[in-house]
A and B are shown apart, each in its own frame.
Chain A
């Protein structure tokens, strides 16, 4: 089945130690998203890629970076995680059909804990 896969499901890192979360997709979608979701809250968009074009949300901290080396893979890098960055990180994809309201398809998420 075509899907969005996030690894790992659970990630523990130390305060200030860089961490990378990964996402892959077999849907061949042009658009990939990274969201941060804190407990029982709505997801908060960090950034998205349209193909290789990177779009950063205005309020996304500089501490968060992303890479998309090819259509299938996207990475979220947190350069110096703070306690406030502990959250679920969701990757999502959607098809490139501007103006047609394509739904987003989500991975299972990576739960990040900071020690």
Chain B
């Protein structure tokens, strides 16, 4: 069975700093997908970034980028030039290719951006 581990329950950084959220996972699959979702307080869960395991190139979306290390089964999220609006719960999630659409979720990291 697949598992996803987020080892940092809570982090806080100053506005404009760079922060990295860690995520590791366990699987025997070779092809799969990885996701980072953001859930601001009392607001909608939204997709931040998606990575295809068969692509070696790390996914990037504006200030958000990942460091995908397939051999190490690591999928960390880097947020550059952090903004107050980045304050949220961040969830890492795993999807098998033949998962029947199911996501395996990490426990989440609460990120607080301080002014």
A: residues with CB less than 8 A from B are 31, 33, 40-43, 45, 48, 50, 55, 90, 92, 94, 98-99, 101-109
Contact = CB atoms under 8 A, between A and B. Distances in A.
B40 to A, nearest CB: 11
A13 B88 CA distance: 28
Contacts of A55: 100
Given A40-B89, A99-B97, A103-B35, A108 B43 contact: yes
A42 B98 contact: no
B44 A109 contact: yes
Contacts of B102: 45, 48
Given A98-B98, A104-B101, 9 more contacts: A43-B45, A48-B101, A99-B98, A101-B50, A101-B52, A101-B97, A105-B47, A106-B45, A107-B44
Q: Which of A33, A42, A104, A105 has the most CB of B within 10 A?
A: A42
Given A55-B100, A108-B44, A42 B91 contact: yes
Nearest to B4: A42
A42 B106 contact: yes
